[in-house]
Structure formats: structure tokens, C-alpha cells
Amino acid sequence: KAFAQFLTDEIKEEKKIQKHKSLPKVSGGWELEVHGTEAKLVRKIAGEKITVTFNINNSIPPSADDEPQEEQKPDEQEPELTSTPNFVVEVIKDDTKQTLVLDCHYPEDEVGHEGEEESDIFTIREVSFQPTGESDWKDTNYTLNTDSLDWALYDHLMDFLADRGVDNTFADELIELSTALEHQEYIKFLEDLKSFVKCQ
């Protein structure tokens, strides 16, 4: 009973601080599909289809200050949780059998440095070609890790993405969308947990 009551209060609180009643839009003509915790953004431009896929599971970085919770005064607002998921960009050209796949992520130390216009808020981790239309990617396909990459080539890859609408603005909006989706799923989880707990 106590558990169910706690969950009821918790759901009320979470709904109070919920920023978006419906998921925020991503500008630039992206269409959104959501399947549970996985979201997919699709955009078509001349002769190409660009899809960006991400999953909100494990997308909230561990909080930096591991202060014991008791320190918190009751009226203090909890720090806002932000979801910064890894995301995969696929560029499919109509006339090739190959898809260029770019695995991107938000570096933990970069998030929240506003004012540094120069730095990108996301980085490309890996790049590979995969056969178009195959759901299972092959480990036997060469995967380029960007850690040791020529920076000029890396810059071209970033520009290539930016030309297709995947730039800092997009990455910011993706954080906003992902955070809203994560919160929505969290509330739904609490509601499911409540009915599960109450079920005799």
C-alpha cells in the first residue's frame, strides 16, 4: 500500500514538472517514428534518405556530483535530467546498394558549455558502409574509428552531415526530444509499476 501511495505521489510530481505534454518537433522537415524507447527521424532530400535512430535507454549520464541525497533541502529543485543518447545516422542514396552509417555521440564533458561557438556538441565515433535494407549489420564490414582519424577528413564528414541537416541545432533539438521522450516513458513506467504493485 505504502509503495502504491508513494508511486501515486511520484507520478503527480513528475507530471507537474513535465515540460512537454506532446513530444517537441525537430525543425528541418524530419518525420518522427517512435517504437517504445527507440525513436527514428527520417528526412528525404534530393536522391537521398537520411535516418537518425536513437534509444533513450541508458541515455542519462550519471550525475557528476555524487552528493548524498540527504543533503538536499525539501524545497530545492532536483537538477534537471537531460537525455543525451548515442545516435546513428544512416545516409541512403537512391542509386547505390550501400548505406553510409555514422555512429555519433555526445561527449560527456562537452554538454553544457554554452558560448563556445566553435565546438561541436556531438562527435562522430565510427563510420562504416552497410548493405542497404539489411537489418543486421555485418561485423566483417570495415568500420572506421575516428579516434585516429585525419582531422581534415573528420571535418569533411561533419560538414557532410551538416549539409544533410545533422548539425548543432539538430543535435540540440534531439536532446530536447530525447529528454521529453525519456520523461514520458518514465512516467508511463511509474504508472505501470503502480498498477503492477496494486494487483493482487
DSSP 8-class letter at 70: G
pLDDT at 165: 96
Residue spans of the chain under pLDDT 50:
66-74, 111, 113, 115-116
pLDDT at 86: 96
pLDDT at 68: 45
* CA–CA dist 180, 182 (Å, integer): 5
pLDDT at 108: 77
pLDDT at 133: 76
* Range 100-118 burial, b when 16+ CB lie within 10 A, else e: bbbbbbbeeeeeeeeeeee
pLDDT at 200: 66
Q: Where are the alpha helices (DSSP H) in the chain?
A: 2-17, 151-163, 168-198
Q: Which CATH number fits domain 1-59+81-108+120-198: 3.90.950.10, 3.30.420.40, 3.30.450.20, 3.10.280.10?
A: 3.10.280.10
**36 in helix, strand or coil?**
coil
pLDDT at 97: 82
pLDDT at 139: 76
pLDDT at 79: 65
Q: What are φ and ψ of residue 185, in 5° steps?
A: -70, -35
Q: Could you tell me how many residues make up the chain? A: 200
pLDDT at 69: 47
